[in-house]
Amino acid sequence: MKRLSLKHEFLHTTVLKAETIEHVLPSEKLLQSLKSDSSKNLIYVDCTLGGAGHSIQLIEIFAERNLFQNFDLTLIAFDHDDNAINHAKILLNKLKEKYNRFHFHIFNENFGNVKSAIETHFPNQKIHGLIADFGVSSPQLDWAERGFSIHHEGPLDMRMNPQENFTALDILNNYSEKDLTRIFFDYGEEPKARKLAKAIIQDRKIGKLQITNTVEFAAYIKRILAYPKGKVHPATRTFQALRIEVNNELASIENLLQDLPKVIHPNGKTGFISFHSLEDRIVKHAMRNWQKGKNAKEKMEEKKEHNIPLHLMIHLEENQSKGFGKEIPRGGIVASEEECKRNNRSRSARLRCFEFCFSLET
C-alpha cells in the first residue's frame, strides 16, 4: 500500500478533547494515595493513539497544573496503523525532551490486548487512567486508498492495519447470505439487511457483482435499497458494518471492557468516545454492570434496556459482588455546538466516563 508523505499523514481533529481529559485526570484521592509510593508514577493508557491528540492534551495539562513536579507520567498507547504510530512518535518524543518526567511506550497492536500487554510489560502494576476513541480517524476516512469512504473512490479495503490480509472485498466475495445479513443487521443496524445480502449473493452467482471500488459499491447499495433521498447516504450503515467486521472492532471493545476492572487502579478514571449507537450501547451496558454489581446483567436483561448482540454483552465475574464506581456524568457528554461547527464529524460522538472506586482482584 502506498505511503503518504509525513506532512499529509495525520491531519486529524481530535473530538471532545478537553472534555475527555478533564474527566480522566487523576483525582485528589488518587494523588494522595500515591504520595507514599516510592515511584510516584501515574500510568495512563491511550487505546487508540491515532494523531495523539488526547495524549498530548493530557501531557500539557500535567505540565500546566505542575503535576510533573511530584509525579512521573507513563503513557501506554496502542494503535495498529503504522502511519499513525510514526506520526505520533515524533510528537511524543518532542514532549519527552521537554518533560523529563514523561515516558511513553507504543504497542503496534489491537487495544483489545490491553490486559495482556500490561501484565507482560508492567507486571504487578495498575493503570490510573484510560482513554479510548473508537472512531475511525480523519486520515483513514479521507485517504481514498484506505477504502473507508463512500465519496472517495478507492479499493474495497477498510483495513485499519494494512498488514492484515482480510478486506471488505473478501467479505463480499466469500460470505454466505446468512453471514452477510448478520453483519449488515448486527453491525450496521441496516433494516433492509436481508434484501441487500440476497441481492449480493444473486449477483455474485451470475457474475454480475463486478464491483471493485467504494464508489461503485455505494451506488450499488443505493440502487438495491431504494431509500427515499435523505441526509445520510444509504450505504453508510453497510460501510460501517463491513469496517467493523474487517477489523473485528466490537470484539476488541468487548475484550477491553471485560478486562478493564482487572487492570485499573481502585481510584482510576476512564473515558470512551463512541461514534455510533451500537458502540455506545456496549459501553453503556458495561458501565451499568460495573456500577450495579453481579445482579446488573440479570436486571438489564429483564428490562431489555440494551439491544446488543448476545456475543458482545459484558459478562460479570463470579466475585464481582459489588459495584466498582459510577458513570460521571450519567448519560455521557456530546460535543458542543461550537465544536460541531468546527468539525462536523463530532456531531455523532458521545463520551462516557467512569470513575472506579474499587477494582477486581486477579
Query: Residue 91's pLDDT band (boundaries 50, 70, 90)?
Result: very high
Which of 63, 130, 135 has the alpha carbon at shortest distance from 101?
Answer: 63
- Binding-site residues, in ranges, read 52-54, 79, 111, 133, 140
Give the lowest-confidence range in 96-100, 241-245, 310-314.
Answer: 310-314
Indicate whether 311 pLDDT > 80: no
Per residue in 205-239, pLDDT tens?
A: 999 888 889 999 999 999 999 999 888 899 999 99
Mean pLDDT, rounded, of the chain:
88
Which of 76, 175, 170 has the alpha carbon at shortest distance from 129?
Answer: 76
All structural domains of the chain with their residue ranges:
6-138+249-356, 143-247
Indicate whether 98 pLDDT > 70: yes
Residues 6+ apart with CB under 8 A from 264: 126, 127, 128, 130, 270, 356, 359
- pTM for this model (two decimals): 0.88
Q: How far apart are CA 104 and CA 192, in angstroms?
A: 46
> How many other CB atoms are found less than 10 A from the CB of residue 306?
15
Judge contact between 256 and 248, C-beta under 8 A. Answer: no
pLDDT of 171? 97
Per residue in 322-358, pLDDT tens?
A: 788 999 999 999 999 999 999 988 999 999 999 998 7
Better-predicted residue by pLDDT, 358 or 284: 284
E-strand ranges in 17-126 read 41-46, 72-78, 102-107
Q: What is the CATH number of domain 6-138+249-356?
A: 3.40.50.150
Q: What is the CATH number of domain 143-247?
A: 1.10.150.170
pLDDT of 1? 34
**DSSP conformation letters of 170-228:** HHHHH--HHHHHHHHHHTT--TTHHHHHHHHHHHHHTT-----BHHHHHHHHHHHH-PP
Q: How far apart are CA 349 and CA 255, in angstroms?
A: 21
Phi, psi of 87 (to 5 degrees): -65, -45
Per residue in 156-192, pLDDT tens?
A: 999 988 888 999 999 999 999 999 999 999 999 999 9
Q: What is the dihedral of CA 47, 49, 53, 59, to 10 degrees?
A: 70
Give the pairing type, strands 264-274 and 333-334. Answer: unpaired
Same CATH topology for 6-138+249-356 and 143-247?
A: no
Burial of 46 (0-12, 13-18, 19+ CB in 10 A): buried
- Binding-site residues for S-adenosyl-L-methionine, in ranges, read 52-54, 79, 111, 133, 140
